[in-house]
Structure 1
């Protein structure tokens, strides 16, 4: 069972994992360096632990202990019990969802492992907003996608904001990063997937037609600003568009993913 430790000093070194959680650049370096990530909220923390991630520690106010007892019983990690005011001072925001946990990152799986048995895959190129990445994972999980592949410059799915927006879907859907950006899509085609790029290219067909009858499909989505690179757009097997009302050309990448996943899941 977790050992409860009451703390009252915001400078206590045992709270180092939780400092300045709103400082994105600082956290990116700190979390990678120390091999950790932060989960926020009782539901998300529970899903992380149930997903097999090993807790380093927990941080919560006294009023949340009873509701979290089942999780604390199955770990030896310390649980730091602090006032809500102290938690806010350490983290930089009001912790209103009950709990935080620092958990150990795991080595990323191989593409072979992630794609084993997969029929529907999301492939993201340079989606740099953590909120969008979290929402994309949530849509993929909700609509039955089997895996997510990320280009090297995509935002970290294990960043706190991404995990929170995705409600812990990152712990459910297998994912990894692509080691080779340039030939990523031809490689997927060689593995038996039809790559379908969401793009406004002139030869794009409606998403319903583009995915109809496909067995193994990889939906390819680009960055928030410029969309897909020319390389990825042209090397995809097919190009698809979500038809819009006159005067609107596109959706936010997270919203477009949800629509495309819905259509593809019912192909």
Structure 2
């Protein structure tokens, strides 16, 4: 699914400055390469209210984690990212949006082993909510982006998703939650990796238009739970025609509502 980015929802003020949530959040992003969009807003808006310690894995320039802070869903956020350019921009975004006292940044490859992860500053059992928008094209599929940062953000080797979720499970507290946004075509792999470490899997499919197949999924799960899986009714982003968003999503993208399910 292509999550459209109308100019009045994600405003390109300059080639590298974008306003999200109706202007409540302004982010510096790479002029070329991977740029956060509406997936990041949906992920940040799905963070449960009352979250004390949020971890954003593969945070990029910090969009999802900072959306959660801007919406008042999380008290603090730690942004974990390995790309140096993205880390520098994330640091700028934290300071520029007034979150210096509530957001931290850690340089780490989330697919690395436990020792490397801990040495970088990701502690075990340290976060009550972990969010992630992992790369979704397996190696050998799709067209590799020309910019290295964009390619890293969109492509991963087979088996790497399981490493992301292993990291999420290690970093989540007992009873903590993980929330992932992912293409629907990757649902089987995602559920298999989550099931080994989490319970109470709760799947929310997103479709572009009424009657269309779901093309994005949001999945949340609870560490240590044995509750069964729930498959929610599909929610639709747009109407039958045009690019206007359904009222529920229009309110989310304008910073007037959160994504609760």
Determine if the TM-score, normalized by the shorter chain, exceeds 0.5: no
TM-score, normalised with respect to structure 1: 0.31
Bigger Rg, structure 1 or 2? 1
Q: Which structure has greater strand proportion?
A: 2
